[in-house]
Chains A and B, each alone.
Chain A
Amino acid sequence: MNAVNSIPISYYLMFCSMLFSIGVIGVLIKRNALMILMSIELMINSINLLLAAFSAYSNDPAGQIFVFFIMVVAAAEVAIGLAIIVLIYKTTHSIDIDVLNKLKW
């Protein structure tokens, strides 16, 4: 059972494009900082899957190593991002991103 033989790479491209667009829509319509972070995770995952798919189709392990490093960076990013969200909640008692407009003007 291997997807490489029976499924064209364009299916993976289209599926990952749709998942990426869902992530973009989430970043645009949500006001909750936690939801925005989750949408970013969705986008990172679609890119990861695409890298792994191209790596498997072209029989080159470097792509999968790169996915591994992206996962490392994503884990670090989530840890720092959630710490910052907790800090924002402590200071403003809200995690709406519209509250954070001190640097806007």
Chain B
Amino acid sequence: MFTNYIFYFLSALALYSGVMVLLSKKPIHSVLYLTLTFFAIGGHYILLNAQFLAIVHIIVYAGAIMVLFLFTVMLLNLNKEERSPKPIWVKALAIIAGVMLGLVLIGVFRGYDLHLVQHPMETQIGLVKELGRILYRDYMLPFEVSSILFLTAMVGAVLLGKKEQI
């Protein structure tokens, strides 16, 4: 019962701050609300007993990606309102389309249940020990390839950020 309340609280927090990301006038407020959303989703991971993912999520998103966003907002001095927001009818149409998409998805998924042969009583798969063993045994090649991807991204970011013309 207690778990349900935590679930509702985290979901409401994530949805509220997700909406506030869009409603905030200044980009820096949006970034801070997005950080709040990420923390709420991290709480969801803990609730699912996916502790490894929770820690990685907090480190990568709240630690690295949000700092990058904040640096960009402050570096470019973008903290002012949009100069020419889209016309109101475009916004209205976009909101109607997005709400329709959400309603259709909710209507499809309402009442869906996963029919499993045996329902897990206490899952241990999200712990670091289990995931590490699987990651380094079964998914060794993708793990190494992702390191090459990171190297490529780093080289690309440095190349794009260079001062002189390419």
Contact = CB atoms under 8 A, between A and B. Distances in A.
A44 to B, nearest CB: 9
Interface in A27-65: 28-32, 34-35, 37-39, 41-42, 45, 48-49, 52-62, 64-65
A79 B157 contact: yes
Given A64-B50, A64-B53, A25 B7 contact: no
Interface of A: 1-11, 13-15, 17-26, 28-32, 34-35, 37-39, 41-42, 45, 48-49, 52-62, 64-65, 67-69, 71-80, 82-87, 89, 94-96, 98
Q: Secondary structure of the A side of the interface?
A: helix
Interface residues of B, number: 88
Given A7-B4, A75-B65, A96-B83, A22 B125 contact: no
Given A82-B69, A86-B72, A96 B84 contact: yes
Interface of B: 1-4, 6-7, 11, 14-15, 18-19, 21-22, 27, 30-31, 34, 37-38, 41, 44-45, 47-50, 52-53, 56-57, 60-61, 64-65, 68-69, 72-73, 75-76, 78, 82-86, 90-91, 94-95, 97-99, 101-102, 105-106, 109-114, 116, 119-123, 125-126, 130-131, 134-135, 138-139, 142, 146, 149-150, 152-154, 156-157, 160-161
Contact of A21 (B2, B38, B101, B109): B101
Contacts of B76: 85-86, 89, 95
Contacts of A23: 18
